Chains A and B, each alone.
Chain A
């Protein structure tokens, strides 16, 4: 059983807090993505699990073993490095066989395993070559092959696709996903690319400034971000955030954008009660707003400034009351700049964000960090 459990991990570099009291639980055979911008601590955390940069305090358990201070070779892990770290002085065969050789596996077994893994990654014809003769994409496959060959319980991946060109990245993403699903290993995957995260992870841990902001399934992270940062980091285009004021109107608490009123669902009444008179953000995704060509009572008038026809959708930049939003519509919805559109905000898709802390205001969203 290869569950991974990180308890209160802390790592500082001088005065810089890279990992700030992080706790995380990963189930056996789960594929977890650590997602965040550069400097958020995701790679530091991964390396701590690998044993390549020990934590200052906290605990790391793999299965039932406390591995916090064990050297990498004793942790039964495997890793794919961002720069691949393929040994230039060894042939492809020897690179892939390296981990098996260090574990003193017998020669026949090594041969069988190396060929098997090389076939999986379509490099079985290149075993006799040197890495310097191979392209970046091929070297990446060697790195993955080396990691898979040892059949470790835990596989760690540090931005393995980031050095590939866009087309290759697309291909490898799908390949990797199917490969790893068949393996049955627990995987931690670090990336700054939110599309990769959404596509590959069973669960995503979104990190910022050394802390995990949200740890949940991709659809929930996308649809119900726990934090302003998560909403803006995930999704392309990012979630829109509109400042609004909570006020009493006809006895109910509503959100007001200028004179425009949005009435929250009943479930929100209780959580919003403490925000009476305060400014909050309304979060809503570009594709969740309804665009109308004619005025309606429950729709806000906004002016179009740019229309980008992206093929599968039209991306409109619209503004009103000094706020700019991105709106995604069906490609047939055509308007011209300076025209007016009327926008409906379906309340089931509106998210309510505390402006001071950035946290989402909600009754049922739990901050999953451990």
Chain B
């Protein structure tokens, strides 16, 4: 194929080509600007997290840590209650992940595969749960937990978080199940499987990534949640609750290191889940 020299083209075509590359350039510039908008604040706080405490308190603040030091992070991690509450957060998030996935999966299968009376009502009911901010859920749950002697336990926080993520998990996992053709399960049944065996041997292997994504989402939501955790715990705090509680007495190094520390799981999590984000939310908007 012979490529024509740009200069040989008539002016109209030259202009069109130039406009196209201007547009491409514009899009690229816009993308970079938006990326910087997101990345720079992260960079800034990372800078603080890895500067020495004295540099943290300095003014004006440097754009690059010098020297790079782990003192501030160490200070934060060793601060009162941090390690313990991090452990609590991990436990709560794991519990939330496990409970929400286990409870949601059967319901998701029912919604994806069966047409039963009340199916729409169930979906509507589940959707409407998400219309309520956690604020209105946490207060009565806290009161209820107190009445049942379950106050100040990380298990009760996990119960709250599970209630929070259950609707999303149900809908996401349902859409993942729906993407597997039912014929595959039928084929498995013809060749010797009971309906459950067919589900286990065919649907689960194919949907594991999607289920894992929903589970990861539950994990991170639980890790990040702060309002309910504050309400439900006094001595057995989760990490965000502990940080928030300490904020008014905390120094800047503590705050910056704490902020960065909370960020890390998000960065990792989104990296693993990014492919699934759009299919997840695509189905959920129906």
Contact = CB atoms under 8 A, between A and B. Distances in A.
Q: Do A and B come from the same complex?
A: yes
Contact of B192 (A87, A89, A103): A103
Interface of B: 181, 183-184, 186-195, 197, 202, 205-206
A39 interface: no
Interface of A: 50-52, 71-73, 77-79, 81, 83, 85, 87-89, 98-99, 102-103, 146, 150
12 contacts: A52-B189, A71-B189, A72-B189, A73-B192, A79-B190, A81-B186, A81-B187, A85-B181, A87-B184, A87-B188, A89-B202, A98-B192
Contacts of A71: 189, 194-195
A227 B192 CA distance: 40
Given A85-B181, A89-B205, A89-B206, A73 B194 contact: yes
A146 B184 CA distance: 13
A102 B193 CA distance: 7
B105 to A, nearest CB: 18
A79 B187 contact: yes
B183 A83 contact: yes
A182 to B, nearest CB: 22
Given A102-B191, A102-B197, 11 more contacts: A52-B186, A72-B190, A73-B193, A79-B187, A81-B186, A83-B183, A87-B184, A89-B206, A102-B193, A146-B191, A150-B191
A207 B272 CA distance: 53
B183 A85 contact: yes
Q: Closest 4 A-B residue pairs measured CB to CB? A: A102-B192, A99-B191, A85-B187, A85-B183
A98 B193 CA distance: 10
Contacts of A81: 183, 186-187
Contacts of A87: 184, 187-188, 202
B36 to A, nearest CB: 39
A73 B206 CA distance: 22
A52 B190 contact: yes
Contacts of B193: 73, 102
A87 B202 CA distance: 7
A87 B181 CA distance: 10
Contacts of A102: 191-193, 197
Interface core residue of B181, B188, B206 (most chain A CB under 10 Å): B188
Contacts of A52: 186, 189-190
A146 B186 CA distance: 14
Contacts of A150: 191
Given A87-B202, A89-B205, A89-B206, A78 B184 contact: no
Nearest to B192: A102
Contacts of B187: 79, 81, 85, 87
A98 B191 contact: yes
A87 B194 CA distance: 16
Interface core residue of A77, A85, A103 (most chain B CB under 10 Å): A85
